[in-house]
Structure 1
């Protein structure tokens, strides 16, 4: 009677211990940890002068490491997966690097490209992270230049009509009455505001003054020629 009661209890306990052992093996195999190694270099600066204020961040602040006196670093207890490794320093800027860790501990490093995520540019491992310059905490104040003054819309509105009034009579044949009439009509169409000066009147005065000056100069030259002949 006692043996028949003990046998099921022993079987239940043995099954329980087997399940617990299998679960522990799975958790131990799934929680295998690795380390991320590398070196940070600032060209022209000794590592002792800046490593005290630097840190190594893996996946944000999920895993944090510190720099040694020679610039090298090791971040322990990192499980398998994909991580972004960054070197943070207040005086130097480093480009982040992506590190992929397989379940067998194989490491693969590449550039972080947020625009072309499918593009893979591999990097050597252990990591060699070089500073790209000082960080820019402030935006440089814009300085005044002549181009800003000339490209001002108000200046362009004043300068362009002046250039048209000066250069157009030299380009167009103003002695042709039909051409002059067409230009006056087009100017009248532009001058829709009665408060503004009449553009066609201005153009007429400009052209007539030029034509009269030419005719007067021609008549004077003719008279001088006749006087010489006499």
Structure 2
């Protein structure tokens, strides 16, 4: 009977030792949330700390501090879930060999292998308010002036106003050249050189000469036959 009691006592003590060893292998992730310009009472009750996408969850206290308990050793992603604000994410690495030593770094989704260390306990800052809708475009004078149709309307008016002032300050020779250029541009289409008519005249003249030469040669041949 005594031997049985001794065996039961040893089994119970071994189980307690195993549970104690398992409890000692779990750690806590601690930190603080900072939102400038907002009272903690307005957002703390809606904010949660998610580790590994919700595998472990923590709550924010009235002073902005948070603690996520029962976290095993390894690499863990820590993010803040808030309906009104966006926060930076952090990755916490808990070492099992060095008695739970923790290191924290920023999360860079573009370069996941990049290591940018941050101090621990964590201090997570907001990146701004969460925007769920795209802002409506506003009318701006700059956009209206950059419109090509507006430029086509405004530039001739500017030229009409500026050119007379420029010509008034020019010398007599420059004025004459300007008037000649304006007269060239103000010519009617009938007064200007027509390339198509010139080409047609050349080719039609050549064909008429050829036709008259052929007619004369035919007349000479018929006269010889007679």
TM-score category by the smaller chain?
0.5 to 0.7
Cα 1:43–1:184, aligned 2, differ >3 Å: closer, same or farther?
same
Cα gap change, 1:118/1:161 in structure 2, threshold over 3 Å: closer, same or farther? farther
Match of 1:180 in 2: 179
1:84 aligns with 2:51: no
CA deviations 1:78-130 (Å, max 9, x no partner) are 34443331111223332222223333322112233345656544322111223
Tell me how far apart the structure 2 counterparts of residues 146 and 48 of structure 1 sit (CA, whole Å).
42
Normalising by structure 1, report the TM-score: 0.55
What corresponds to 1:145 in structure 2? 140
Q: Secondary structure at the match of 2:87?
A: coil
Tell me: CA distance 1:45–1:145, structure 2 relative to 1, closer, same or farther (3 Å): closer
- Structure 2: give runs of 5+ residues left out of the alignment: 1-20, 190-226
Task: Give the distance between the partners of 1:114 and 1:55, measured in 2 at CA.
Answer: 22
Q: Which residue does 1:14 correspond to in 2?
A: none
Match for residue 58 of structure 1 among 29, 51, 57: 51
TM-score, normalization: structure 2? 0.55
Larger Rg: 2
Calculate the aligned-residue CA RMSD, in Å.
3.5
Q: How many pairs does the alignment contain? A: 161
Counterpart secondary structure, 1:90: coil
Q: Is the 8 A contact 1:48 1:70 kept in 2?
A: no
2:27 to 30, 34, 38: 34
Name the SS of the counterpart of 2:86 in structure 1. Answer: coil
For the residues of structure 2 that align with 1:107 and 1:79, how far apart are their CA atoms? 12
